[in-house]
Amino acid sequence: MNRRGFLAGALALGAGLAFRVRADGLPETLPEPALPEAWDEIDHNAVVHRVRDGEALPRRAQPEAEHAVVIVGGGISGLTALSELPAGTDALLLEKEAETGGHSRRRRIRGVWCPLGALVSQGPIAPFTSRLNALGVAFQPLPVPGLAWRIGGRLCEEPLGAGIDALPLPAAERAAFRAAADELAGYRDPATGIFFPRSDNRPEIRALDAITLHEHIARRGWPESLKKLLDGLLAVRIGEDGSQVSAWTALWLLSAIGGDNYSFPGGHGALGERLAAQALDGRPQALRRGWTVTALTPLAAGGVRVDALDADGAPRCVQAGTVVLAAPKLYARKLLPQLATERPGVYESFRYNAYLLAQVSLKHPVGRCFETLVSEPSPRMYVAADRLDPEANGRGHMTIYVPMSGSAGRARLLGAHPRALAAELLDGLYQNFPEARGAVEEIRLQRWGHPLVSPRPGQDATLAAAREPWGDIVFAHSDTFGVSGLYSALWTGIDAAAEVQVRLLARQTPTRNEEHAHVQVA
């Protein structure tokens, strides 16, 4: 058969086979995985979207139960709030999914734990060390080399560290990379760098919140190649580049790249599971799964009416003395329309970005680095989840994070067919990791509708107002500090539980008037 005849025959075989040339020069066919026809759903937002769109949803005539505390949202912040409440507290946690954990969940796919969201943290730092130790969480340092960046058609390891001299760039640009790496290292200093709370930072550090990352890059005179790297690293962490993001927040996130970073098998999923076990220990009835809260109504006599739809779509309702709203501020302003008039411009300042996740099961590990950033044609991060799983037993697994920023990105995430997206992702995988061809066994696509808040310059002024309790409603969520993260979730959960306990104590302690009235009656 001549070459033309061979190619015609190859095309006739259709999709499902790929070709490479063996050492003897003959073509070798490789099996390709079946592309998904449906989403592997990890988050169910149908009811949430109805709330977002202002639809009038059915309600029960009367509450079916009353509780001292109702927590809305079973992510890290909600679970933390529940676990911090004293044993015996009449508390109920409502979670719309069948499992708790929110963006800190994991799955075991073909023998490898893989993340369904949050993955990397800075390890057990104060003031959370004792709490994490009590959970028995075993942080694992990220493997070295930790990061690779695809530039100029090649993968370069540690582009802001030991690999700077190997970057295919002119000497002047490599010098800018070294300057940026030194600057980011300085921001990690616990006394003079960037840290929470922002008010404790030096004035020149606080001033970074008044400009965007791109403005900071321009002031430094950093080259386009460095801007592309920083934009890509930022995008895969919060969903967009530095064109509109606060330089303070962007540099705080980017500074962690060169420091010590840790994770668990499957990302933060292990932590979420242990936190749920601790929170529900001795009070298994404190959790209602499959309840999506649709409205919060403050009551004139005190307390809050909490309306929801259960997994079957039936209206449910409970009454709470205090509500901990451990949900995104985007959701808070839909549950409480009064916030728009009483705190104008506060909750509207919170913007969120969506993500596409691909879970790729492999016969064997692929690539050397734990994380691989690809900036072209759009940013995405390849994470070798198998590197952190001691039970992987030689199998490989890639979790691919693809930011879908803005309304256009979210529309594509919700509207595109998963098969088309999977084909595009596999093409990118093979281009960046040729050794993956023939090793892919399965690809699953998952979508997060609005996991990461986008911090704008100057938003710090509204963050304080957003976290202030409103009547008998206390706010807690990882977005509360203007950037999504493990420690903001823990922090606000702890704060919310403390606020709740103050309120519970106040209700148990009679006022002087009440004491006087009691004496008179007696």
Is 280 part of a structural domain of the chain?
Answer: no
Partners of 440 in the β-ladder: 362
Query: Could you give the number of structural domains in the chain?
Result: 2
Give the model's confidence band at 15: pLDDT under 50 very low, under 70 low, under 90 confident, else very high. Answer: very low
Residue-level pLDDT at 2: 53
Is 351 part of a structural domain of the chain?
Answer: no
Q: What percent of the chain has pLDDT over 70?
A: 92
Is 157 part of a structural domain of the chain?
Answer: yes
Q: Provide the token pair at 269.
A: 């999923």
Q: Which of 235, 260, 285 is the last residue of a domain?
A: 260
Over range 413-434, report the average pLDDT.
Answer: 95
pTM over 0.85: yes
Give the model's confidence band at 132: pLDDT under 50 very low, under 70 low, under 90 confident, else very high. Answer: confident
Is 475 part of a structural domain of the chain?
Answer: no
How far apart (Å, rounded) are the C-alpha atoms in residues 464 and 480?
8
The three-point CA angle 326-330-335 to 5° equals: 70
Q: How far lies 271's CA from each of 12, 102, 286, 386, 434, in Å?
A: 50, 12, 19, 18, 34
- What lies within 8 Å, CB to CB, of 237 at 6+ separation is 253, 452
- Nearest partner of 478 among 331, 339, 348, judged by Cα: 331
Is 220 part of a structural domain of the chain?
Answer: yes
Per the structure, the complete domain to which residue 3 belongs is given by: 1-31
Q: Is the pLDDT reported for residue 303 higher than 90?
A: yes
pLDDT per residue as tens digits for the range 357-382: 999 999 999 999 999 999 988 999 99
Q: Is the pLDDT reported for residue 19 higher than 70?
A: no
Is 16 part of a structural domain of the chain?
Answer: yes
Q: Which of 225, 260, 295 is the last residue of a domain?
A: 260
Residue-level pLDDT at 520: 38
pLDDT per residue as tens digits for the range 20-31: 565 666 566 677
SS3 193: coil
| 430 within 8 A of 48, measured Cβ to Cβ | no
Q: Is the pLDDT reported for residue 320 higher than 90?
A: yes
Q: Is the pLDDT reported for residue 324 higher than 60?
A: yes
Is 327 part of a structural domain of the chain?
Answer: no
The three-point CA angle 344-345-349 to 5° equals: 150
Is 232 part of a structural domain of the chain?
Answer: yes
